[in-house]
Amino acid sequence: MTLRQKLQEQFQSDLAKAPESITNKNGIELHLDKNQQIYVGYDKIPRKWALKLTKKIPLLFDFLLQSRFWVDREWIAAIQFPATNIPIFYEYCKKCKAPNIVGIWQQNTKISCRMCGKQNLVDIKSSLKSIQEILERLDIG
C-alpha cells in the first residue's frame, strides 16, 4: 500500500468518527457533508453584499430570489483535530477563485472546483518540515 493510499484510508476512518456538526468562531453551525468530506454552514447577509452568488444561480431561480432581501452565505471548514491529524489545506480555483479544501494525499492530482467545476491540479506548499517530508514521499510513492 502506498503512502497516498494509507493516508486516504486513514482519512476515511477519521471521517466516520468526525462529529456531525461544529460551531465555527463566528458562531455559525456547520454540518458534516460526507460527500464533500467537509463541514458546510450558512448565515444570512443582505443580497447587495453577495451579488457574486447570484451570478452562479440559473436565471429562473435568480429571478425568484431577487424579491428576497437576504441571501445565504456559505461557510466551509475542514475536518479538524482531534477528528483527524492528517494535514488539510485550502486551494483556490484558478478560474473562479473559490476555496476548495484538499487533503495532503491529493497532492498532484486533479480536483473539480466545488463552485464552478473546473479541474484544478492540487499544488500544496508548506514551510512545515513534517509536511514537506510527506509531500516528498507522495511524489516518490
Partner 1 sequence: MPIADTDIEHRYSVDGSFEDPQPDKDDSLGGELSATEIPDDTLNNDMSDITSAEAAAGVTKYRGWMYVNKHASLTYIGPKMWIESQTSSADTSVAIGMAVEAKNLPIEVITNELTPPSTVVFSTPANFAAGLAVGDLDPDDYKGHWLKYIVTAGANAVVDTYTLAIRGDTNP
Q: How far is the CB of 130 from partner 1 (least distance, A)?
A: 8
Q: Which amino acid is at 28?
A: I
Question: What length does the chain have?
Answer: 141
Q: Which of 65, 77, 111, 122 binds partner 1 (CB under 8 A)?
A: 77
- Decide whether 58 or 82 has the Cβ nearer to partner 1: 82
- Report the site for partner 1 in 87-116 (rule: CB under 8 A): 87-92, 96-99, 101, 104, 115
DSSP result, 4-52: HHHHHHHHHHHHHHS-SEEE-TTS-EEEEETTTTEEEEEEEEEGGGGHH
* Site size toward partner 1, by CB under 8 A: 38
Cell of 9: 484510508
Q: How far is the CB of 122 from partner 1 (least distance, A)?
A: 12
